[in-house]
């Protein structure tokens, strides 16, 4: 049995440029995926990160048979996405980035219809629909048509359906868009449970804290290429010398902007009387700078920590190879 949930080899996808009047090129071809090779093991929660236009969605579309590659190979659970698309589709569930639901059907019928396509027995599907509706706080809306629900509820229905089936591989493109924080936290818990049961979860997200919290394995890509790969600890090693500092004053000291500008932080966020900044320097130097900042006012709280995934991401996107 293939140990990989999926694997890609020298995968390339080029979108042809659009043609204008008289066949003149209106836009240049775009190399959305540019020779990527990697694999993901079964049962993991795998995060695919990158800025807008990095090629994440294109990669997902190829893996889910929505799009053919220009060259290279992609195999999902041992099946070639081009030669054996039906075998691939039998084993995957996908939630696309955009809102997508059966508008004319009720929330419950959305779930039952999806189960039907995956050949779940009707009685079993009905029982499971009750559980899933409960999990996603959809019971009061269960019999309302989705077209009458708000965007947030539509998204719930869309994500909920992947819990109606047991496909071994689940692709979620920005799954938490439009979800309230409480439900989002709950869904993250459900995803962990699914992974513990052996399902592989592949998620793309712009919310890096989600990936930090959920993913066993992360791949950061930009302009169709892999920029970094590994678990959170491996990625943190890539940004040695990057520290996150949080300082809360009783009141923000006057003239602190000048001092902050001198420190050249990688990232800076000021809210009320709290400073959050990322500094890239040797440990002793960082502590010295923090002391200097602390001396500017009356400090209520100081925290120095290793870099977050967001800092690493920003740092990697600034690296010359990511820009090239």
Of 35-43, 58-66, 230-238, 307-315, the segment contacting another protein by CB under 8 A is 58-66
Q: How far apart are alpha carbons 120 and 115 in whole angstroms? A: 5
Q: Does 212 bind another protein (CB under 8 A)?
A: no
Residue 245 contacts another protein per CB under 8 A: no
CB of 103 to another protein, least distance (A): 5
Least distance to another protein, CB of residue 108, Å: 11
Total of chain residues touching another protein, rule CB under 8 A: 32
31 in contact with another protein (CB under 8 A):
no
Q: CB 130 → another protein: shortest distance, Å?
A: 18
**Binding pattern for the stretch 127-156 against another protein, x by CB under 8 A and - elsewhere:** ------------------x-----------
59 is a site residue for another protein (CB under 8 A): no
* Min CB(26)–another protein separation in Å: 16
Candidates 67, 132, 164, 290; binder of another protein (CB under 8 A) is: 67
CA 289 vs CA 97, 115, 210: distances in Å: 42, 58, 30
Tokens of 25: 């090129």
Q: Is 76 in the site for another protein (CB under 8 A)?
A: no
Stretch that binds another protein, among 27-35, 85-93, 195-203, 243-251 (CB under 8 A): 85-93
Please give the residues from 152 up to 181 whose contact with another protein meets the rule CB under 8 A.
Answer: 158
Where in 88-127 is the site for another protein (CB under 8 A)?
89-90, 92-96, 98-106, 109, 113-114, 116-119
User: What backbone torsions phi and psi does residue 95 show, to the nearest 5 degrees?
Assistant: -115, 115
Q: Between residues 160 and 279, which has the closer beta carbon with respect to another protein? A: 160
Please say which residue, 88 or 277, places its beta carbon nearer to another protein: 88
DSSP β-bridge partners for residue 79: 76
Cα angle value 318/55/155 (rounded, 5°): 110
84 near another protein, rule: CB under 8 A? no
Tell the smallest beta-carbon distance from residue 140 to another protein (Å): 19
Q: How far is the CB of 151 from another protein (least distance, A)?
A: 12
Distance CA 81, CA 289 (A): 53
Write down the least CB distance from residue 171 to another protein, Å.
8
Beta-carbon count within 10 A of 303 CB:
11
Residues sharing a CB contact under 8 Å with residue 82, sequence separation 6 or more, in sequence order:
68, 69, 73, 74
Closest separation in Å from C-beta 154 to another protein: 9
The residues binding another protein (CB under 8 A) are 61, 64-67, 85-86, 89-90, 92-96, 98-106, 109, 113-114, 116-119, 145, 158
């Amino acid at each position: 049995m293939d140990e990989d949930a999926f694997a890609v080899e020298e995968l390339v996808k080029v979108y042809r440029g659009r043609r204008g009047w008289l066949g003149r090129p209106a836009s240049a071809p775009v190399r959305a995926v540019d020779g990527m090779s990697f694999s993901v093991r079964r049962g993991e929660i795998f995060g695919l990160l990158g800025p807008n236009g990095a090629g994440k969605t294109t990669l997902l579309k190829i893996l889910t048979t929505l799009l053919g590659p220009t060259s290279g190979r992609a195999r999902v659970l041992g099946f070639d996405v081009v030669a054996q698309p039906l075998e691939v589709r039998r084993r995957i569930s996908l939630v696309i980035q955009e809102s997508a639901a059966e508008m004319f059907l009720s929330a419950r019928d959305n779930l039952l219809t999806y189960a039907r396509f995956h050949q779940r027995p009707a009685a079993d599907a009905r029982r499971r629909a009750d559980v899933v509706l409960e999990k996603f706080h959809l019971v009061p809306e269960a019999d309302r048509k989705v077209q009458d629900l708000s965007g947030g509820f539509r998204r719930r229905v869309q994500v909920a359906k992947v819990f109606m089936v047991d496909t071994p591989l689940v692709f979620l493109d920005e799954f938490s868009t439009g979800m309230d924080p409480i439900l989002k936290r709950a869904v993250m818990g459900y995803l962990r449970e699914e992974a513990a049961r052996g399902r592989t979860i592949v998620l793309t997200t712009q919310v890096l804290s989600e990936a930090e919290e959920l993913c066993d394995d992360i791949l950061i890509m930009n302009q169709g290429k892999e920029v970094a790969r590994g678990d959170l600890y491996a990625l943190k090693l890539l940004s040695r010398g990057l520290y996150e500092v949080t300082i809360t004053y009783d009141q923000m000291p006057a003239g602190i902007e000048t001092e902050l500008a001198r420190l050249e932080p990688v990232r800076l966020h000021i809210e009320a009387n709290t400073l959050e900044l990322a500094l890239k320097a040797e440990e002793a130097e960082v502590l010295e700078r923090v002391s200097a900042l602390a001396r500017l006012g009356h400090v209520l709280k100081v925290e120095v920590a290793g870099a977050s995934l967001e800092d690493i991401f920003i740092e990697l996107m600034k690296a010359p190879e990511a820009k090239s």
